[in-house]
């Protein structure tokens, strides 16, 4: 199967990291890509890279937390392609962490879930009807191993990514047999700007940066692996060994897993949201 080849693709958060890697890889596979990002400058830089490599891409500004802007994105894509997209990658996301539930603040919850969860909901709800009418297409929803790892001090991030996983599973069941496929990506550390651009406490950002540098996969590796598994009809893409181990351990011994996380969480440094730039 070569569903990711010659695609009419929409990628959100395409201005950097995994989103940019998806856009470049899809263009290499003969696709035409709408590169959506909250930053027009970043989207244009991705398009420039695609064009330099002989591909075709189009920049557009989109805040995925806004339903109206995602509706405009869908209209832009259909007008640009002359048809509904055949692949939508709901990738846009932000990092948040370092503060326990009870001290996070509702502004932070709303901000994180607006992008990480509602952004994916908007993309799926708005683009599904066009694919259903065409009888073909697919979604790659970018979640995280955080969606099942549920590590302490990452409440809004964990909840958003768990929601993306559940939404993807639901859609996979609903769209079975329709010609529309769904894949959900659940990585651990990837070398992106998520820790820099998010609302993460200073200590948390430093730790995340070190882990990304030492253990993180490159966005390009993640994009290639995910698209190949999407082509093979995989629902879950869990690309790293540590994520696979967490997945299995939690299911084999859930109580032990949670107690261990709780113990580790007691030694984790905690800071107020003010230090996270909020």
Contact predicate 41/33, CB 8 Å: no
CATH of span 8-276? 3.40.50.720
Q: Which of 157, 230, 236, 257 is catalytic?
A: 157
Q: φ and ψ at 34, to 5 degrees? A: -90, 115
The structure's pTM equals: 0.88
- Residue 236 known to be catalytic: no
Q: Print pLDDT tens along the chain (278 aa).
A: 579 999 999 999 999 999 999 999 999 999 999 999 999 999 999 999 999 999 999 999 999 999 999 999 999 999 999 999 999 999 999 999 989 999 999 999 999 999 999 999 999 999 999 999 999 999 999 999 999 999 999 999 999 999 999 999 999 999 999 999 999 999 986 766 655 566 665 554 555 555 555 556 799 999 999 999 999 999 999 998 888 999 898 889 988 888 888 887 666 555 544 433 32
- Dihedral of CA 246/252/257/258: which sign? positive
d(C-alpha 187, C-alpha 217), whole Å: 9
Contact predicate 242/149, CB 8 Å: no
């Amino acid at each position: 199967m070569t569903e990711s080849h010659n695609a009419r693709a929409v990628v959100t958060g395409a201005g950097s990291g995994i989103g940019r890697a998806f856009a470049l890889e899809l263009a290499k596979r003969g696709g035409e890509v709408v590169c959506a990002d909250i930053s027009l400058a970043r989207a244009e830089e991705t398009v420039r890279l695609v064009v330099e490599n002989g591909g075709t891409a189009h920049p557009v500004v989109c805040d995925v937390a806004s339903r109206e802007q995602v509706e405009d994105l869908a209209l832009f894509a259909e007008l640009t392609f002359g048809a509904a997209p055949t692949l939508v990658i709901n990738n846009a996301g932000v990092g948040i962490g370092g503060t326990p539930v009870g001290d996070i603040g509702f502004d932070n919850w709303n901000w994180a879930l607006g992008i990480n969860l509602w952004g994916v909901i908007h993309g799926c709800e708005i683009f599904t009807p066009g694919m259903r009418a065409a009888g073909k297409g697919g979604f790659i929803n970018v979640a995280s191993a955080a969606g099942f790892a549920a590590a302490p001090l990452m409440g809004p991030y964990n909840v958003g990514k768990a929601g993306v996983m559940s939404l993807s599973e639901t859609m996979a069941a609903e769209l079975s047999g329709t010609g529309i496929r769904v894949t959900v990506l659940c990585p651990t550390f990837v070398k992106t700007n998520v820790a820099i651009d998010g609302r993460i406490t200073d200590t948390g950002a430093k730790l995340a940066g070190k882990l990304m540098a030492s253990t993180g996969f490159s966005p390009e590796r993640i994009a290639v692996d995910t698209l190949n598994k999407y082509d093979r009809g995989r629902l879950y893409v869990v690309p790293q060994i540590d994520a696979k181990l967490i997945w299995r351990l939690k299911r084999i011994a859930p109580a032990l897993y949670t107690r261990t996380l709780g113990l580790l969480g007691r030694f984790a440094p905690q800071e107020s949201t003010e230090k996270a730039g909020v």
